[in-house]
Structure 1
Amino acid sequence: MTRLVKEDSEVGRLHINTPLMGESLVSKEFLRRTESKEYFRMQPEINILKIGGQSIIDRGAKAILPILDELIRLKEEYKILLMTGGGTRARHVYSIGVDLGMPTGVLSKLGDKVSWQNAEMISVLLAKHGGVKIGHGDNLEQLTMFCRLGYLPITYGIPPYGFFEHPAEIGSIPPHRTDCGAFLLAENIGARSVIFLKDEKGLFETDPKKVDAAKRGGLKFFDKISAGELLELDLDDLIIERPILTLLQRAKCIKQIQIIDALNNPGDIGKALAGEHVGTIITKD
Protein backbone atom coordinates (compact mmCIF):
# COMPACT_ATOMS: atom_id res chain seq x y z
CA MET A 1 0.00 0.00 0.00
CA THR A 2 1.23 3.50 -0.83
CA ARG A 3 1.41 5.97 2.06
CA LEU A 4 3.08 9.28 2.86
CA VAL A 5 5.89 9.19 5.39
CA LYS A 6 7.03 12.39 7.13
CA GLU A 7 10.69 12.53 8.07
CA ASP A 8 11.71 13.89 11.48
CA SER A 9 13.53 16.96 10.30
CA GLU A 10 13.14 20.70 10.35
CA VAL A 11 12.05 20.67 6.72
CA GLY A 12 9.44 17.99 7.32
CA ARG A 13 9.97 16.46 3.88
CA LEU A 14 7.34 13.96 2.73
CA HIS A 15 8.25 10.67 1.07
CA ILE A 16 5.99 8.20 -0.70
CA ASN A 17 6.35 4.74 0.78
CA THR A 18 5.43 2.42 -2.10
CA PRO A 19 6.29 -1.16 -3.12
CA LEU A 20 7.98 0.33 -6.20
CA MET A 21 10.37 2.47 -4.14
CA GLY A 22 13.96 1.45 -4.76
CA GLU A 23 13.10 -0.96 -7.57
CA SER A 24 14.81 -0.75 -10.96
CA LEU A 25 11.62 -1.68 -12.87
CA VAL A 26 13.56 -4.18 -14.99
CA SER A 27 13.77 -7.17 -12.61
CA LYS A 28 11.73 -10.07 -14.02
CA GLU A 29 10.83 -11.31 -10.57
CA PHE A 30 9.72 -7.86 -9.49
CA LEU A 31 7.68 -7.30 -12.67
CA ARG A 32 5.79 -10.55 -12.07
CA ARG A 33 4.57 -9.10 -8.77
CA THR A 34 3.00 -6.15 -10.61
CA GLU A 35 0.53 -8.42 -12.44
CA SER A 36 -3.06 -7.61 -11.51
CA LYS A 37 -5.68 -10.28 -10.90
CA GLU A 38 -8.16 -8.24 -12.91
CA TYR A 39 -7.50 -5.22 -15.10
CA PHE A 40 -9.77 -2.18 -15.18
CA ARG A 41 -11.61 -1.83 -18.49
CA MET A 42 -12.32 1.80 -19.26
CA GLN A 43 -14.58 1.25 -22.29
CA PRO A 44 -15.89 -2.35 -22.05
CA GLU A 45 -18.85 -1.73 -24.37
CA ILE A 46 -16.87 -0.27 -27.28
CA ASN A 47 -16.29 -2.40 -30.37
CA ILE A 48 -13.22 -1.45 -32.39
CA LEU A 49 -13.80 -1.87 -36.14
CA LYS A 50 -10.77 -1.29 -38.30
CA ILE A 51 -11.61 -0.70 -41.98
CA GLY A 52 -8.83 -1.59 -44.39
CA GLY A 53 -7.31 1.17 -46.48
CA GLN A 54 -6.08 -0.83 -49.46
CA SER A 55 -8.66 -3.61 -49.13
CA ILE A 56 -11.74 -1.35 -48.92
CA ILE A 57 -11.30 2.44 -48.83
CA ASP A 58 -9.08 2.60 -51.92
CA ARG A 59 -11.80 0.86 -53.95
CA GLY A 60 -14.10 3.90 -53.66
CA ALA A 61 -17.86 4.26 -53.40
CA LYS A 62 -18.89 0.75 -54.49
CA ALA A 63 -16.86 -0.74 -51.66
CA ILE A 64 -17.26 1.88 -48.95
CA LEU A 65 -20.92 2.92 -49.10
CA PRO A 66 -22.54 -0.50 -48.45
CA ILE A 67 -20.31 -0.90 -45.39
CA LEU A 68 -21.19 2.55 -44.11
CA ASP A 69 -24.91 1.80 -44.58
CA GLU A 70 -24.43 -1.27 -42.39
CA LEU A 71 -22.56 0.73 -39.74
CA ILE A 72 -25.30 3.38 -39.66
CA ARG A 73 -27.78 0.63 -38.86
CA LEU A 74 -25.57 -1.15 -36.34
CA LYS A 75 -24.59 1.92 -34.33
CA GLU A 76 -28.12 2.00 -32.90
CA GLU A 77 -27.48 -1.36 -31.24
CA TYR A 78 -23.72 -1.44 -30.69
CA LYS A 79 -21.17 1.10 -29.50
CA ILE A 80 -18.61 1.37 -32.31
CA LEU A 81 -15.31 3.14 -32.87
CA LEU A 82 -14.29 3.01 -36.53
CA MET A 83 -10.55 3.17 -37.25
CA THR A 84 -9.12 3.70 -40.73
CA GLY A 85 -6.17 2.13 -42.52
CA GLY A 86 -3.75 3.87 -44.84
CA GLY A 87 -3.78 1.79 -48.00
CA THR A 88 -2.10 2.37 -51.34
CA ARG A 89 -1.17 6.01 -50.77
CA ALA A 90 0.68 5.07 -47.57
CA ARG A 91 2.56 2.42 -49.53
CA HIS A 92 3.49 5.05 -52.10
CA VAL A 93 4.98 7.40 -49.53
CA TYR A 94 6.77 4.48 -47.87
CA SER A 95 8.26 3.58 -51.25
CA ILE A 96 9.59 7.09 -51.76
CA GLY A 97 10.92 7.25 -48.20
CA VAL A 98 12.66 3.88 -48.50
CA ASP A 99 14.26 4.98 -51.78
CA LEU A 100 15.60 8.06 -49.97
CA GLY A 101 16.93 5.98 -47.09
CA MET A 102 14.53 7.41 -44.52
CA PRO A 103 14.68 5.70 -41.07
CA THR A 104 11.69 3.78 -39.72
CA GLY A 105 10.54 6.59 -37.41
CA VAL A 106 10.35 9.06 -40.29
CA LEU A 107 8.40 6.56 -42.40
CA SER A 108 5.97 6.20 -39.51
CA LYS A 109 5.33 9.95 -39.45
CA LEU A 110 4.85 10.00 -43.21
CA GLY A 111 2.38 7.11 -43.25
CA ASP A 112 0.10 8.41 -40.52
CA LYS A 113 -1.04 11.32 -42.71
CA VAL A 114 -2.79 8.95 -45.14
CA SER A 115 -4.71 7.13 -42.41
CA TRP A 116 -5.74 10.57 -41.11
CA GLN A 117 -7.01 11.54 -44.59
CA ASN A 118 -9.09 8.36 -44.79
CA ALA A 119 -10.62 9.08 -41.39
CA GLU A 120 -11.50 12.56 -42.62
CA MET A 121 -13.25 11.19 -45.72
CA ILE A 122 -15.22 8.59 -43.77
CA SER A 123 -16.29 11.15 -41.17
CA VAL A 124 -17.58 13.47 -43.93
CA LEU A 125 -19.57 10.63 -45.48
CA LEU A 126 -21.08 9.79 -42.07
CA ALA A 127 -21.51 13.35 -40.83
CA LYS A 128 -25.29 13.54 -41.29
CA HIS A 129 -25.62 10.17 -39.54
CA GLY A 130 -23.62 11.16 -36.46
CA GLY A 131 -20.14 10.40 -37.73
CA VAL A 132 -17.54 12.48 -35.91
CA LYS A 133 -13.77 12.42 -36.41
CA ILE A 134 -11.74 12.39 -33.23
CA GLY A 135 -8.03 12.46 -32.54
CA HIS A 136 -5.77 10.44 -30.28
CA GLY A 137 -6.09 12.82 -27.34
CA ASP A 138 -8.68 13.20 -24.59
CA ASN A 139 -11.57 12.29 -26.91
CA LEU A 140 -10.69 8.61 -26.58
CA GLU A 141 -11.72 8.75 -22.93
CA GLN A 142 -15.16 9.94 -24.03
CA LEU A 143 -16.00 7.17 -26.49
CA THR A 144 -18.89 5.74 -24.51
CA MET A 145 -20.37 9.22 -24.13
CA PHE A 146 -20.16 9.80 -27.90
CA CYS A 147 -21.89 6.50 -28.60
CA ARG A 148 -24.65 7.04 -26.04
CA LEU A 149 -25.38 10.39 -27.66
CA GLY A 150 -25.87 8.67 -31.01
CA TYR A 151 -22.53 9.50 -32.59
CA LEU A 152 -20.27 7.14 -34.51
CA PRO A 153 -16.70 8.19 -33.64
CA ILE A 154 -13.97 7.71 -36.26
CA THR A 155 -10.22 7.96 -35.82
CA TYR A 156 -7.13 7.01 -37.76
CA GLY A 157 -5.52 3.67 -37.03
CA ILE A 158 -1.81 4.51 -37.09
CA PRO A 159 -0.44 4.52 -33.52
CA PRO A 160 1.29 7.76 -32.48
CA TYR A 161 4.81 6.37 -32.23
CA GLY A 162 6.22 8.74 -34.84
CA PHE A 163 9.96 9.15 -34.36
CA PHE A 164 9.71 6.69 -31.45
CA GLU A 165 8.60 3.78 -33.67
CA HIS A 166 10.37 0.51 -32.91
CA PRO A 167 13.10 -0.51 -35.36
CA ALA A 168 11.75 -2.97 -37.90
CA GLU A 169 12.95 -6.56 -37.49
CA ILE A 170 13.29 -6.86 -41.27
CA GLY A 171 13.69 -3.89 -43.61
CA SER A 172 12.60 -0.39 -42.62
CA ILE A 173 8.78 -0.26 -42.99
CA PRO A 174 7.20 0.69 -39.62
CA PRO A 175 6.11 -2.59 -37.97
CA HIS A 176 3.27 -0.97 -36.00
CA ARG A 177 0.81 0.40 -38.51
CA THR A 178 -2.98 0.72 -38.50
CA ASP A 179 -3.85 -2.89 -37.58
CA CYS A 180 -1.54 -2.65 -34.58
CA GLY A 181 -2.95 0.76 -33.69
CA ALA A 182 -6.48 -0.65 -33.58
CA PHE A 183 -5.39 -3.56 -31.40
CA LEU A 184 -3.35 -1.44 -29.00
CA LEU A 185 -6.19 1.00 -28.49
CA ALA A 186 -8.68 -1.82 -27.94
CA GLU A 187 -6.41 -3.46 -25.38
CA ASN A 188 -5.76 -0.28 -23.43
CA ILE A 189 -9.39 0.84 -23.22
CA GLY A 190 -10.55 -2.70 -22.47
CA ALA A 191 -12.79 -2.85 -25.54
CA ARG A 192 -15.49 -5.48 -26.07
CA SER A 193 -14.10 -6.67 -29.40
CA VAL A 194 -11.61 -6.00 -32.20
CA ILE A 195 -12.83 -6.74 -35.72
CA PHE A 196 -10.80 -6.18 -38.88
CA LEU A 197 -12.84 -5.40 -42.00
CA LYS A 198 -10.97 -6.84 -44.99
CA ASP A 199 -11.62 -8.00 -48.56
CA GLU A 200 -10.97 -11.71 -47.94
CA LYS A 201 -12.86 -14.36 -46.00
CA GLY A 202 -10.12 -14.33 -43.38
CA LEU A 203 -6.71 -15.90 -42.94
CA PHE A 204 -5.36 -18.24 -45.59
CA GLU A 205 -1.96 -19.94 -45.72
CA THR A 206 -0.97 -17.40 -48.36
CA ASP A 207 -2.55 -14.34 -49.95
CA PRO A 208 -5.28 -15.61 -52.35
CA LYS A 209 -4.71 -12.58 -54.57
CA LYS A 210 -1.20 -13.84 -55.34
CA VAL A 211 -2.42 -17.28 -56.42
CA ASP A 212 -3.95 -18.28 -59.76
CA ALA A 213 -7.74 -18.34 -59.57
CA ALA A 214 -7.78 -22.06 -60.38
CA LYS A 215 -5.64 -22.85 -57.33
CA ARG A 216 -7.38 -20.65 -54.75
CA GLY A 217 -9.87 -23.35 -53.81
CA GLY A 218 -7.01 -25.54 -52.59
CA LEU A 219 -5.60 -22.97 -50.17
CA LYS A 220 -5.79 -23.85 -46.50
CA PHE A 221 -8.15 -21.58 -44.59
CA PHE A 222 -7.88 -20.97 -40.86
CA ASP A 223 -11.27 -20.37 -39.27
CA LYS A 224 -9.76 -20.39 -35.77
CA ILE A 225 -6.15 -20.50 -34.61
CA SER A 226 -4.13 -19.26 -31.64
CA ALA A 227 -1.51 -16.54 -31.93
CA GLY A 228 1.15 -18.98 -30.73
CA GLU A 229 0.25 -21.57 -33.35
CA LEU A 230 0.30 -18.93 -36.05
CA LEU A 231 3.71 -17.70 -34.96
CA GLU A 232 5.04 -21.26 -35.09
CA LEU A 233 3.79 -21.65 -38.67
CA ASP A 234 5.92 -18.62 -39.60
CA LEU A 235 3.90 -17.92 -42.74
CA ASP A 236 5.56 -15.62 -45.26
CA ASP A 237 2.46 -13.40 -45.55
CA LEU A 238 -0.42 -12.57 -43.23
CA ILE A 239 -3.72 -10.73 -43.59
CA ILE A 240 -2.91 -8.66 -40.50
CA GLU A 241 0.28 -7.03 -39.27
CA ARG A 242 2.59 -9.62 -37.72
CA PRO A 243 3.37 -7.81 -34.41
CA ILE A 244 -0.30 -8.22 -33.42
CA LEU A 245 0.37 -11.91 -32.74
CA THR A 246 2.97 -11.10 -30.10
CA LEU A 247 0.85 -8.28 -28.68
CA LEU A 248 -2.15 -10.60 -28.41
CA GLN A 249 -0.13 -13.14 -26.44
CA ARG A 250 0.75 -10.41 -23.92
CA ALA A 251 -2.73 -8.85 -23.80
CA LYS A 252 -4.48 -8.38 -20.47
CA CYS A 253 -7.99 -7.60 -21.72
CA ILE A 254 -8.35 -8.68 -25.35
CA LYS A 255 -8.62 -12.46 -25.70
CA GLN A 256 -9.17 -12.68 -29.46
CA ILE A 257 -9.40 -10.75 -32.70
CA GLN A 258 -11.68 -11.42 -35.67
CA ILE A 259 -11.06 -10.92 -39.39
CA ILE A 260 -14.04 -10.78 -41.74
CA ASP A 261 -14.81 -10.10 -45.39
CA ALA A 262 -16.77 -6.86 -45.14
CA LEU A 263 -16.18 -5.98 -48.80
CA ASN A 264 -18.19 -8.88 -50.22
CA ASN A 265 -20.36 -9.55 -47.15
CA PRO A 266 -21.18 -6.33 -45.27
CA GLY A 267 -23.78 -8.26 -43.28
CA ASP A 268 -20.97 -10.20 -41.58
CA ILE A 269 -20.17 -7.06 -39.57
CA GLY A 270 -23.40 -7.44 -37.63
CA LYS A 271 -22.84 -11.17 -37.22
CA ALA A 272 -19.36 -10.58 -35.79
CA LEU A 273 -20.64 -7.90 -33.42
CA ALA A 274 -23.29 -10.36 -32.24
CA GLY A 275 -20.57 -12.87 -31.40
CA GLU A 276 -21.05 -15.20 -34.34
CA HIS A 277 -18.06 -17.08 -35.72
CA VAL A 278 -17.60 -15.65 -39.20
CA GLY A 279 -14.26 -15.24 -40.92
CA THR A 280 -11.14 -16.03 -38.87
CA ILE A 281 -10.77 -15.80 -35.11
CA ILE A 282 -7.24 -15.60 -33.70
CA THR A 283 -7.13 -16.32 -29.98
CA LYS A 284 -4.66 -15.37 -27.29
CA ASP A 285 -4.08 -18.98 -26.18
Structure 2
Amino acid sequence: GVTYANERLAGRSLTGAKNPDGPADPIMVFPDVRRLLISSRSFVEGARALAMYVSMLFSLQIFGKDEKEREEAADMAQLMTPIIKAFFTDKGFQAANDSMQVFGGHGYVRDHGMEQFVRDARINQVYEGANGIQALDLVGRKMTAKGGRATMTFFAKIEEFIKENEGDAEMKPFIEPLRAGYKRLGEAAGWLMENAQKNYDHAGAASYDMLNIFGTVALGWMWARMAKVALAKVKSGEGNQDFYKRKLTLARYWMEREMPMTSGWLERAKQGADGYMELDAASF
Protein backbone atom coordinates (compact mmCIF):
# COMPACT_ATOMS: atom_id res chain seq x y z
CA GLY A 1 0.00 0.00 0.00
CA VAL A 2 2.82 2.41 0.86
CA THR A 3 4.63 1.66 -2.39
CA TYR A 4 1.44 2.15 -4.38
CA ALA A 5 0.64 5.44 -2.59
CA ASN A 6 4.08 6.78 -3.50
CA GLU A 7 3.79 5.72 -7.14
CA ARG A 8 0.13 6.34 -8.00
CA LEU A 9 -0.38 9.81 -9.49
CA ALA A 10 -3.81 11.39 -9.12
CA GLY A 11 -4.89 14.96 -8.43
CA ARG A 12 -2.91 17.67 -6.71
CA SER A 13 -2.01 18.31 -3.11
CA LEU A 14 -4.47 20.50 -1.23
CA THR A 15 -1.59 22.82 -0.34
CA GLY A 16 -0.14 23.14 -3.86
CA ALA A 17 1.48 20.78 -6.34
CA LYS A 18 4.23 18.62 -4.87
CA ASN A 19 5.18 17.11 -8.24
CA PRO A 20 4.87 20.17 -10.52
CA ASP A 21 6.80 18.59 -13.35
CA GLY A 22 4.52 15.56 -13.47
CA PRO A 23 0.91 15.22 -14.62
CA ALA A 24 -0.30 14.82 -11.01
CA ASP A 25 0.93 14.31 -7.44
CA PRO A 26 1.37 10.92 -5.79
CA ILE A 27 -1.66 10.11 -3.64
CA MET A 28 0.61 9.98 -0.57
CA VAL A 29 0.19 13.79 -0.39
CA PHE A 30 -3.45 13.42 0.71
CA PRO A 31 -4.13 13.34 4.48
CA ASP A 32 -6.82 10.69 4.13
CA VAL A 33 -4.47 8.28 2.36
CA ARG A 34 -2.01 8.85 5.19
CA ARG A 35 -4.83 8.18 7.67
CA LEU A 36 -5.40 4.77 6.13
CA LEU A 37 -1.71 3.91 6.20
CA ILE A 38 -0.65 5.35 9.56
CA SER A 39 -3.64 3.89 11.41
CA SER A 40 -2.69 0.46 10.12
CA ARG A 41 1.01 0.89 10.90
CA SER A 42 0.39 2.26 14.38
CA PHE A 43 -1.91 -0.63 15.24
CA VAL A 44 0.42 -3.30 13.82
CA GLU A 45 3.51 -2.06 15.64
CA GLY A 46 1.62 -1.54 18.90
CA ALA A 47 0.05 -4.98 18.61
CA ARG A 48 3.43 -6.59 17.99
CA ALA A 49 4.76 -4.94 21.15
CA LEU A 50 1.86 -6.25 23.23
CA ALA A 51 2.15 -9.71 21.66
CA MET A 52 5.85 -9.84 22.57
CA TYR A 53 5.02 -8.67 26.09
CA VAL A 54 2.48 -11.48 26.48
CA SER A 55 4.99 -13.96 25.04
CA MET A 56 7.35 -12.88 27.82
CA LEU A 57 4.56 -13.44 30.35
CA PHE A 58 4.08 -17.00 29.09
CA SER A 59 7.75 -17.63 29.80
CA LEU A 60 7.67 -15.95 33.20
CA GLN A 61 4.67 -17.96 34.35
CA ILE A 62 6.90 -21.04 34.07
CA PHE A 63 10.39 -19.71 34.68
CA GLY A 64 9.74 -16.71 36.95
CA LYS A 65 12.13 -16.25 39.86
CA ASP A 66 9.49 -16.87 42.53
CA GLU A 67 5.88 -17.88 42.99
CA LYS A 68 4.64 -14.29 43.09
CA GLU A 69 6.23 -13.44 39.72
CA ARG A 70 4.93 -16.66 38.16
CA GLU A 71 1.43 -16.03 39.49
CA GLU A 72 1.32 -12.44 38.27
CA ALA A 73 2.56 -13.43 34.81
CA ALA A 74 -0.08 -16.15 34.53
CA ASP A 75 -2.83 -13.73 35.60
CA MET A 76 -1.78 -11.07 33.10
CA ALA A 77 -1.36 -13.56 30.25
CA GLN A 78 -4.88 -14.89 30.80
CA LEU A 79 -6.31 -11.36 30.95
CA MET A 80 -4.65 -10.40 27.67
CA THR A 81 -5.70 -13.51 25.76
CA PRO A 82 -9.11 -12.21 24.56
CA ILE A 83 -7.47 -8.87 23.69
CA ILE A 84 -5.05 -10.66 21.38
CA LYS A 85 -7.71 -12.96 19.95
CA ALA A 86 -10.47 -10.40 19.42
CA PHE A 87 -9.18 -6.83 19.47
CA PHE A 88 -6.15 -7.78 17.39
CA THR A 89 -8.15 -9.65 14.77
CA ASP A 90 -10.79 -6.93 14.47
CA LYS A 91 -8.16 -4.24 14.05
CA GLY A 92 -6.08 -6.49 11.83
CA PHE A 93 -8.99 -6.94 9.44
CA GLN A 94 -9.59 -3.20 9.49
CA ALA A 95 -5.92 -2.62 8.67
CA ALA A 96 -6.14 -4.97 5.70
CA ASN A 97 -9.37 -3.35 4.54
CA ASP A 98 -7.91 0.15 4.88
CA SER A 99 -4.81 -0.92 2.95
CA MET A 100 -7.06 -2.16 0.15
CA GLN A 101 -8.79 1.23 0.18
CA VAL A 102 -5.48 2.93 -0.63
CA PHE A 103 -5.54 1.14 -4.00
CA GLY A 104 -9.02 2.43 -4.81
CA GLY A 105 -10.73 0.23 -7.40
CA HIS A 106 -7.43 -1.48 -8.12
CA GLY A 107 -7.53 -2.97 -4.65
CA TYR A 108 -10.79 -4.80 -5.28
CA VAL A 109 -9.42 -6.82 -8.20
CA ARG A 110 -6.74 -9.48 -8.06
CA ASP A 111 -3.94 -7.61 -9.82
CA HIS A 112 -2.22 -6.31 -6.67
CA GLY A 113 -3.15 -9.13 -4.29
CA MET A 114 -4.73 -6.87 -1.68
CA GLU A 115 -8.17 -8.44 -1.96
CA GLN A 116 -6.62 -11.77 -0.97
CA PHE A 117 -5.20 -10.25 2.23
CA VAL A 118 -8.64 -8.86 3.09
CA ARG A 119 -10.36 -12.20 2.52
CA ASP A 120 -7.69 -14.07 4.47
CA ALA A 121 -7.78 -11.62 7.39
CA ARG A 122 -11.53 -12.05 7.82
CA ILE A 123 -11.28 -15.65 9.05
CA ASN A 124 -9.30 -14.59 12.10
CA GLN A 125 -12.35 -12.91 13.67
CA VAL A 126 -14.22 -16.22 13.90
CA TYR A 127 -11.44 -18.79 13.82
CA GLU A 128 -10.74 -19.08 17.57
CA GLY A 129 -14.33 -18.39 18.54
CA ALA A 130 -16.39 -15.42 17.39
CA ASN A 131 -15.02 -12.14 18.69
CA GLY A 132 -18.25 -11.29 20.48
CA ILE A 133 -17.69 -14.41 22.60
CA GLN A 134 -14.09 -13.36 23.24
CA ALA A 135 -15.40 -9.99 24.44
CA LEU A 136 -17.85 -11.73 26.76
CA ASP A 137 -15.01 -13.92 28.03
CA LEU A 138 -13.02 -10.78 28.86
CA VAL A 139 -15.87 -9.19 30.80
CA GLY A 140 -17.50 -12.28 32.28
CA ARG A 141 -14.44 -14.34 33.21
CA LYS A 142 -11.01 -12.85 32.65
CA MET A 143 -11.59 -9.47 34.33
CA THR A 144 -13.44 -10.98 37.29
CA ALA A 145 -11.37 -14.15 37.83
CA LYS A 146 -9.99 -14.62 41.36
CA GLY A 147 -11.70 -11.51 42.62
CA GLY A 148 -10.47 -9.39 39.73
CA ARG A 149 -6.84 -9.99 40.67
CA ALA A 150 -5.47 -9.77 37.12
CA THR A 151 -7.43 -6.60 36.35
CA MET A 152 -6.11 -4.93 39.48
CA THR A 153 -2.56 -5.94 38.54
CA PHE A 154 -2.98 -4.46 35.06
CA PHE A 155 -4.45 -1.25 36.46
CA ALA A 156 -1.60 -0.97 38.99
CA LYS A 157 1.04 -1.31 36.27
CA ILE A 158 -0.49 1.51 34.23
CA GLU A 159 -0.86 3.70 37.32
CA GLU A 160 2.77 3.05 38.23
CA PHE A 161 3.96 3.95 34.72
CA ILE A 162 1.92 7.17 34.72
CA LYS A 163 3.23 8.16 38.14
CA GLU A 164 6.84 7.46 37.15
CA ASN A 165 6.64 9.61 34.01
CA GLU A 166 4.08 12.35 34.65
CA GLY A 167 6.80 14.80 35.66
CA ASP A 168 8.65 14.43 32.34
CA ALA A 169 7.58 17.26 30.02
CA GLU A 170 8.64 15.32 26.92
CA MET A 171 6.39 12.42 27.92
CA LYS A 172 3.31 14.60 28.44
CA PRO A 173 1.88 13.97 24.92
CA PHE A 174 1.90 10.26 25.73
CA ILE A 175 1.11 10.23 29.44
CA GLU A 176 -1.93 12.53 29.44
CA PRO A 177 -3.87 10.60 26.76
CA LEU A 178 -2.94 7.32 28.45
CA ARG A 179 -4.26 8.71 31.73
CA ALA A 180 -7.52 9.76 30.06
CA GLY A 181 -8.02 6.36 28.42
CA TYR A 182 -7.15 4.54 31.62
CA LYS A 183 -9.68 6.66 33.54
CA ARG A 184 -12.40 5.68 31.05
CA LEU A 185 -11.39 2.03 31.32
CA GLY A 186 -11.81 2.24 35.09
CA GLU A 187 -15.17 3.98 34.70
CA ALA A 188 -16.39 1.27 32.33
CA ALA A 189 -15.24 -1.45 34.74
CA GLY A 190 -17.01 0.32 37.58
CA TRP A 191 -20.23 0.58 35.56
CA LEU A 192 -20.08 -3.16 34.86
CA MET A 193 -19.52 -4.00 38.53
CA GLU A 194 -22.53 -1.92 39.48
CA ASN A 195 -24.93 -3.02 36.74
CA ALA A 196 -24.01 -6.50 35.54
CA GLN A 197 -25.27 -8.19 38.68
CA LYS A 198 -28.66 -6.52 38.27
CA ASN A 199 -29.03 -7.87 34.74
CA TYR A 200 -26.45 -10.12 33.10
CA ASP A 201 -27.54 -8.82 29.69
CA HIS A 202 -25.92 -5.51 30.65
CA ALA A 203 -22.56 -7.31 30.71
CA GLY A 204 -23.28 -8.88 27.34
CA ALA A 205 -24.34 -5.56 25.84
CA ALA A 206 -21.29 -3.69 27.13
CA SER A 207 -18.72 -6.40 26.49
CA TYR A 208 -17.73 -5.45 22.94
CA ASP A 209 -17.31 -1.79 23.87
CA MET A 210 -15.28 -2.85 26.90
CA LEU A 211 -13.04 -4.97 24.67
CA ASN A 212 -12.30 -1.95 22.48
CA ILE A 213 -11.57 0.32 25.45
CA PHE A 214 -9.33 -2.30 27.04
CA GLY A 215 -7.44 -3.04 23.83
CA THR A 216 -6.93 0.61 22.97
CA VAL A 217 -5.59 1.40 26.45
CA ALA A 218 -3.36 -1.69 26.47
CA LEU A 219 -1.78 -0.66 23.17
CA GLY A 220 -1.56 2.90 24.48
CA TRP A 221 0.49 1.59 27.40
CA MET A 222 2.80 -0.17 24.95
CA TRP A 223 3.14 2.97 22.84
CA ALA A 224 3.91 5.12 25.87
CA ARG A 225 6.64 2.68 26.88
CA MET A 226 8.06 2.68 23.36
CA ALA A 227 7.92 6.48 23.26
CA LYS A 228 9.94 6.65 26.47
CA VAL A 229 12.68 4.49 24.94
CA ALA A 230 12.57 6.39 21.64
CA LEU A 231 12.86 9.78 23.38
CA ALA A 232 15.92 8.59 25.28
CA LYS A 233 17.54 7.31 22.08
CA VAL A 234 16.84 10.55 20.21
CA LYS A 235 18.25 12.55 23.10
CA SER A 236 21.43 10.47 23.25
CA GLY A 237 21.83 10.26 19.48
CA GLU A 238 22.23 6.49 19.68
CA GLY A 239 21.04 4.07 17.02
CA ASN A 240 18.92 4.69 13.95
CA GLN A 241 17.44 8.15 14.57
CA ASP A 242 14.88 7.88 11.75
CA PHE A 243 13.61 4.65 13.32
CA TYR A 244 13.11 6.22 16.75
CA LYS A 245 11.55 9.41 15.38
CA ARG A 246 9.13 7.27 13.37
CA LYS A 247 8.20 5.42 16.55
CA LEU A 248 7.40 8.73 18.21
CA THR A 249 5.16 9.75 15.30
CA LEU A 250 3.28 6.44 15.45
CA ALA A 251 2.92 6.75 19.24
CA ARG A 252 1.57 10.27 18.80
CA TYR A 253 -0.97 8.99 16.28
CA TRP A 254 -2.26 6.35 18.71
CA MET A 255 -2.63 8.90 21.49
CA GLU A 256 -4.21 11.61 19.35
CA ARG A 257 -6.48 9.55 17.11
CA GLU A 258 -7.19 6.18 18.72
CA MET A 259 -7.26 6.91 22.45
CA PRO A 260 -10.13 9.46 22.12
CA MET A 261 -12.30 6.65 20.75
CA THR A 262 -12.49 5.24 24.28
CA SER A 263 -14.81 8.10 25.18
CA GLY A 264 -17.44 6.99 22.67
CA TRP A 265 -17.14 3.32 23.65
CA LEU A 266 -17.63 4.26 27.30
CA GLU A 267 -20.84 6.14 26.49
CA ARG A 268 -22.08 3.18 24.45
CA ALA A 269 -21.27 0.69 27.21
CA LYS A 270 -23.21 2.70 29.80
CA GLN A 271 -26.41 2.47 27.74
CA GLY A 272 -26.83 -1.11 28.91
CA ALA A 273 -28.90 -3.83 27.29
CA ASP A 274 -32.38 -2.30 27.08
CA GLY A 275 -31.98 -0.85 23.59
CA TYR A 276 -30.78 -4.21 22.28
CA MET A 277 -33.37 -6.38 23.99
CA GLU A 278 -36.68 -4.51 23.70
CA LEU A 279 -37.59 -5.69 20.19
CA ASP A 280 -39.20 -9.11 19.95
CA ALA A 281 -37.41 -11.49 17.60
CA ALA A 282 -40.07 -11.22 14.89
CA SER A 283 -39.54 -7.44 14.61
CA PHE A 284 -35.92 -7.62 13.49
Greater share of strand: 1
TM norm. shorter chain > 0.5 = no
> TM-score under structure 2 normalisation?
0.28
Greater share of helix: 2
> TM-score under structure 1 normalisation?
0.28
